[in-house]
Amino acid sequence: MTPPLSCENLSLSFGVKPVLTDVTVALPRGQISAIVGPNASGKTSLLRCLSRLQTRTNGRVLLDGAPIDSLKTRDVARRIALLPQTTTAPAGMRVQELVLHGRTPHQSPFRQWSAEDEALVTDALAAVGLADQSDRLLSDLSGGQRQRAWIAMVLAQDTDILLLDEPTTYLDLPHQRDVLTLVQQLQKERGLTVAMILHDINLAARYADRIMALKDGRLLHNGPPAEVITLETMQQIYGLDCSILTDPHSGKPHIIPK
C-alpha cells in the first residue's frame, strides 16, 4: 500500500550546516506517528520538508506516491494540514473566523462562506468542543481552548494528513492530555494520518502508534513504542540513563530518568 506521505533520502542543509541527512521515512496510513528527538535534531525541519514549507537540498518527497513538487501550493494544502508550533492570530480574531481560515484552500475571493464551509466549520468546532464558544475572541480563551481552536482550524481544512508541531507546548499537564486525547479521537473517527512532534517521550509512547526518533538530522529509529523505547535507544538518542516501566494505564513503556 502506498503511504500517504513519505520521503526518500531527504537531505537539507543551510549553507554548509547539515540539518537533515539521508532521511527515508513513510507515514503509515491511518496511524499516529510521533517524531521525537533532542533539541535541534531536525524534527521541525523534517515536518516542514514533508509539507513542502521548506525546500529540501536533496531527495524526494512523495504525496500518495507522486512527487510533491508537481503539485500546486493550493492542492498540497487540500491534502496536508500543518499546525506550526507557535501560532498567533491577528488581534480581534474570533474563534469561528479562525476556524473558517482553515477553509482557505477550498475558497476564493468570491466564495468565502459556502454551505459546505459552514457545515465543516460547525463540525470542526463541535469536534473540538468549542461549539458554544464560536463568537468569543481568541485572545479571551484559555491556552487549552485556544489550542483546540487551532486544531479545529486544521480540521476544517478537510485533509487526510495532519501534521502537528509540538501541539502541547505551553499547556499544563491536564491540557496536554486533553489535546492529545482529542487528536487520538479525531484520528480514529476520521481515519486521518497524523504526524506530530512531541518533546515528552512518555506522551509519545502513550498516544502514538509509531515513534520516529531523530538525532543530528538522521533517523535513528522508526517503529512501535515498545521497540523504540529501550534502555539502549534512550542512551543513544538522548544520552539518558533511565529506567523503563510499563505505564499501568496504557501498557506502553514509560521512562523515568535516573
Chain residues in the site for other proteins (CB under 8 A): 48, 51, 53, 73-78, 80-82, 84, 86-94, 97, 100-102, 104-105, 107-115, 117-118, 135, 157
- Least Å distance between CB 81 and other proteins? 7
- Least Å distance between CB 152 and other proteins? 14
Closest CA to 196 of 38, 7, 34, 52: 34
CA–CA distance, 33 with 222 (Å, rounded to integer): 9
Q: What are phi and psi of 98, to 5 degrees?
A: -60, -50
Secondary structure tally for the chain: helices H, strands E = 9, 12
Q: Which is nearer to other proteins, 60 or 78 (CB)?
A: 78
Give me the DSSP letters along 154-174: HHHT--SEEEEE-TTTT--HH
Q: Which is nearer to other proteins, 70 or 73 (CB)?
A: 73
Q: Which is nearer to other proteins, 11 or 104 (CB)?
A: 104
Q: Which is nearer to other proteins, 105 or 225 (CB)?
A: 105
- Least Å distance between CB 112 and other proteins? 5
Residue with cell 468542543: 129
CA–CA distance, 37 with 16 (Å, rounded to integer): 22
- Least Å distance between CB 150 and other proteins? 9
CA–CA distance, 5 with 151 (Å, rounded to integer): 20
* DSSP designation for 28: P
Give me the DSSP letters along 79-134: HEEEE-SS--PPTT-BHHHHHHHTTGGG-BTTBSS-HHHHHHHHHHHHHTT-GGGT
Grid cell at residue 193 = 494520518
- Least Å distance between CB 214 and other proteins? 19
- Least Å distance between CB 138 and other proteins? 9
Q: Which is nearer to other proteins, 70 or 232 (CB)?
A: 70
- Least Å distance between CB 167 and other proteins? 14
CA–CA distance, 123 with 141 (Å, rounded to integer): 19
Q: Which is nearer to other proteins, 13 or 236 (CB)?
A: 13
Q: Which is nearer to other proteins, 1 or 110 (CB)?
A: 110
